Structure 1
Amino acid sequence: MSAKLHPARKKFTRFASKVPFQFGLPNVSPTLTQASDGSPIYFTRTTSLLRRQVLANAPSVTIKSDAYHPRVLPRSAWAEADFQTSRVLFLIPDDALGDCVGMALFFRAFAEKYPKAKIAVLNSASASDIFATLPDIEIFQLFISSKQLARFDVLIDLSEMEGWDTIAKMPVNPEEALSSAFGVTPISLPSRQPVVKPQMNIGILPMASSPLRTLPPALVRDMAQKLGNAGHSVTLILNAYQGVMRTYKDSIAAENLPNVAVVDGFRTIGDLIGFMEKQDYVVLADSGPAHITKLFQTPGLGIYTSASATVLQGRHRNLRNWQSTYMGDFCQAPCGLAKLRATDDGQIGCMGSLKVPFEKLGTLPSTSNKAVAEKLVVESTVPCVAHLRKDQDAIFQILGEDLKTQYAPSAIK
């Protein structure tokens, strides 16, 4: 590589350990657990769970620096560089499932262009199982040793991708953005349409990481009931790692619905990926699972609220999309907001729920508030989410078209 390297945007912690160690996150497949290799120094992203929750309290660990910036290939050189025989380590900016699915699809295109290149990812954290769907990729879930780091010819910090610094306000499509940045052609994907048959395996995944994107419980209950009554084998998948799951589950009360199984969540992301691959059809909120469908082109319906379905689904046509039709005095769907914001006086919400322009919202909340989150996903859903109840008949019409079933109109107006 002839391009001049510069420091990565992300800070890394340099640490040493007097005793052997191994680490792995509980929601990542055990096969991806990492162990020390006797190196004198190890590196992890300063903001990682490993740094904040483990290393800080480990008596055998010595923190050498919390402000190490590895030297990386600058963004301006990505398209011109020849990676044909290179060993490339990609620094993963975060472990949001949707973003990492886009990165994984980009890596598949990168590998097609450079079949002799060796690809690895660092600090993939909870999304490690997504990268494990790629053949011949090396995954450093939480850290890398100095011996391992020395094997790579070039490091690339993917947080330098355009739009990453504003992703909380306006989502980007990492697959398209990275493919363009590196001058690679996205891989071709098979078309997969719903194959209608009796007792289809249908998954409903209504929960997202934000109340801005989690589907209304009443809509989900009605949908599960209609699909179950039609004779399909319906699985309602929740997310046990989210603190609002129990309240959300209670509000749906789906345990007694015919042909509907309720699963509190999967232990690992790998288990979730395996489930998504086997479904005949899925209905999803704007969430990580909606992006996981891209890996297998699983057919279904994606229901979007604050974020743009067009941007997030990109070129993929396996999901039919419904965008909330909400229009209000302070915003309309999609507004581009990915997470709740806090005002200067401590109110948490979005433009529509707080009735303020975006400029008055301020920053992301500094601490989590379970009570507020539960209220926003169950009792006082934000306007674009609440409006989905008014969109319900149109949503069921799409389901009827895909599954060749007529559903009676709802009583909701």
Structure 2
Amino acid sequence: MLRSFAVLLLALSAAQVQAKVDNQQASRLDQDLTPLGGERAGNAAGSIPAWDGGLAAPIAGYQAGKHHPDPYAGDAVLYRVSAANLEQYRALLPPGLQTLLKSHPDYSLRVMPSHRSAAAPPRIYAATRFNAVNAELISGGNGVQGAAAGIPFPLPQSGQEAIWNHVMRYRGEQIHLVTNQAAVLASGDYNLLKLERDIYFLYGRDGIAPKDLDNTLFYYKYKVAAPAKLAGSALVVQETLDQVLSIRKAWRFNRGERRVRRLPMLAFDTLQPDTNGMATADMVDSYNGAPDRYDWTLVGKQEMLVPYNSYAVHQQGIAYNKILQRHSINPELLRYELHRVWVVEAQLRTGFSHPYAKRRFYLDEDSWQILAVDLYDKHGELIGLQESHPISYYDMPMFGSTLETIYDFAGGRYFADGLDNNEPMYDFQAPLGPRDFTPQALRREGN
């Protein structure tokens, strides 16, 4: 499966160690590669189409400010994958997804026609073209310089560069969103936690220059809206670019104490609250933060069945108990497609601890969104699976997750985040600024 990409990988590995490529290589972004570094052509079998620009504009019937209607609602299921026919499709599935299928014989994947819907604004394409010959890793791979917007390494030469492409991909300039999360126990019991979230991106902002970043990627804030016993608690994060040079800054407002406290650490293996111990801090958005605790390997590119164009689970009005089933998300609301993904493996470095000693990431070639992650413990046992179910927010345009899941195989439970079916749709024009993400702002919100 990897053979068709061997020539590309050999060429990249033979290139200079630093991230910059020459103008001849970068010119491929105007030729056989997409503006973000994917392959423009489809596959030989015709089961993956050529990239034609993606969903770069709203579709007919879309109403601004509303949930995004499914552009592909008329597609028929091509086939289903279950434990019964797993051997036929094993080569196309991450090991974690294979385990999920084997563990639940009644669970199946709806495989639909592939649509390469990912798109970004023209200025992000232009910035990515600039980055190809200017951006480079610094601080032993723990930071990036020479980029202020766009994908930093559209022709990646290492696993570190590929993971930075995910961390620094375009997600708009600011967002206000209201979502729910739930830790679903083996019994099927769960409690919803509603969060009001704000994000202000500095990296990727129109008009920003590298010197303006001041080692900052974005600002993030959430406030618990429900249940009532937790409402009012809040968190602010100032996300740094090079977290070895300067760790992310985070403050929490505790409603019971009615005071703001600086958190000494909110990174790596720190457990996220209200996830029943299933999610570490660096699992938010599939992976975030400094890459220094792992050795990263760019394994190659592969055709795989992955979550994609997940509009069915995004639609307005679906009751959350119709989505959250006992052992998994309702498979009739999920969509899988055949796409090419970059495979990146992360191995925990000697001297560090983490529940996941090895992770295997699968990154969409068209957007650099991580779509799936296999999770292994220190004994090499596969213990979990992460998935991101993305859509194209074609009013932006921007391609990103609408729902994220973490499956704990040993506990027979899972965690879901991003449930927004009965909430207002994301506001990409929210009036936000850096002053909204300070300890003082957090204190004001708590009063």
TM-score range, shorter chain: under 0.3
What is the TM-score when the length of structure 2 is the normalising length? Answer: 0.24
Q: Between Structure 1 and Structure 2, which shows a larger proportion of strand residues?
A: 2
Q: Select the structure of larger CA radius of gyration.
A: 1
Higher RCO, 1 or 2 (CA under 8 Å, sep at least 6)? Answer: 2
